[in-house]
Amino acid sequence: MYDNQFTPRAQSALRLAQAAAEELGHSYVGSEHLLLGLLREEDGAAHRCLTEQEVTAERTRDVIGRIVGTGLPGLAPPQGLTPRAKRVIENAVGESSRTGSGYVGTEHLLLGILRENGTMAMRVLDDLGADPRKLQTALLQRMSVVQRLPREAPTRIAAPRREELPRITRTKYVQSDLSQVWGQLRPRLEEGPVLFCGTPCQTDGVRAFLGEDRAGIVLVDLICYGVPSPGVWERYVRYLERRYRGVFRGFSFRDKRAEYGRACSLRVGERELVWPLSKDLFCRTYFKNVNLRPSCFRCGYAAAERTSDLTLGDFWGVEGVRPGFDDRRGCSVVLCHTRAGTELWEQVRDQTRWFACREEDAANESQPRLRTPTRPSSRRGLWMGLYGRIPFPLWLRLAVR
């Protein structure tokens, strides 16, 4: 069912899991065999994280044999996955979707094991002295490096002082790089409460990373249209550098100094250039749903119910909910999901002009991303098939027609 999503190493690990079950004389493939398969796929990220905690294939096989027992190799070929093993794989697919990976690797399979408590695999890891939380942390850190965006992608910015907030309040149609975040969250708590804001998949990743013990950290996600391909963005930056003959220094997707957010601005070399948002070729491929990641088209966070504390976004359709409220300079919606989110909103709401509304008012027809994921362009397959095969400037112009 999911074969087309699995990387070659993940597929190899699954084959090795079946071979391990047969070798041990077991008539099924369980979570413990999946664990052994991940260890025997030595080029996978899961193998590296496990061996860092001294969990080896040899020790794991010995523990499985001692706890479960062994039969005659090959006498009873495995007949299929156990229900728990199936849930592990479903967990892995879910982790891939939540992190926007677009594939299922060995790292996702190991996360799938760690998410399923009470399995034989978890019992084996416990017997070997492995720390599940440390494994999870190592995996997420490794995944953030593997999936790191190109050099032109925005790095994550912290704003410990009020005067630094403007740096992080601008519109961004690219996803930030979280590789430096994982090790900074808890240390920053020593300086005071932390508010983390990101796309829903990023925020849920932080929630999973922190676990239940995240007092003092408020998680905020955005109403997200979708995440564009980092490869397309990297090539667009290089295209801009060649076209304007300078080093890329920054880009504003909605420069509100001009036409109140209907213009883009580029800083290249010592120059700053401005053009209409509707003329920007990258933004046009974005809003035509050409360059979005495939996982965005089946996003599980395109709903009013979220795993964050708060959700922020544009209140599209506000004129139909409260006529006369919108001043035509932007109106935001705030959705409170938890007590922590509600308490934070109550601290600041008197500094704003606001009104209470129902959840269905926020998720109105003008705000579809609170109800369903973005739909792909009917021609996306054609344009992404041509991507990398024809000159990039030509691809840009063809893709926005």
pLDDT for 77 equals 58
Which residue, 245, 234, 252, is CA-closest to 268? 245
The model scores a pTM over 0.85: no
Q: Is residue 157 part of a domain?
A: no
Residues 6 or more apart in contact with residue 313 via CB below 8 angstroms: 222, 223, 332, 333, 367, 369, 370
Within a domain: residue 398? no
Give the mean pLDDT of 324-348. Answer: 91
Do 118 and 189 share a domain, yes or no? no
CA dist 124 and 122 (Å) reads 5
Quick one: pLDDT at residue 140? 72
Phi then psi dihedrals of residue 29, to 5 deg: -115, 110
Domain that holds residue 308: 181-224+303-370
Confidence of residue 334 (pLDDT cuts 50, 70, 90): very high
Amino acid at the residue 296: C
- Model pLDDT for residues 232-249, shown as the tens digit of each residue: 998 999 999 999 998 888
Residue 145 has pLDDT above 70, yes or no: no
Secondary structure class of 75 (helix, strand, coil): coil
Residues 339-349 pLDDT 10s: 999 999 999 99
Q: Which two tokens stand for residue 124?
A: 């084996």
Per-residue pLDDT averaged across 136-155, rounded? 55
User: pLDDT tens digits, residue range 52-87?
Assistant: 889 999 999 999 999 999 887 765 556 789 999 999
Per-residue HEC secondary structure of 282-321 comes to HHHHHHCCCCECHHHHHCCCCCCCCCCCEEEEECCCHHHH
Q: What mean pLDDT do residues 83-94 have?
A: 90
- 187 and 142 part of one domain: no
> In angstroms, rounded to a whole number, what is the distance separating the alpha carbons of residues 137 and 247?
36
User: Is residue 96 pLDDT above 70, yes or no?
Assistant: yes
Q: Does 12 map to a domain?
A: yes
Helices (H), 173-229: 185-188, 200-210
Q: What is the CATH number of the domain that holds 74?
A: 1.10.1780.10
More confident residue, 55 or 165: 55
| Same domain flag for 10 and 73 | yes
Query: 């080093």: which residue's tokens?
Result: 247
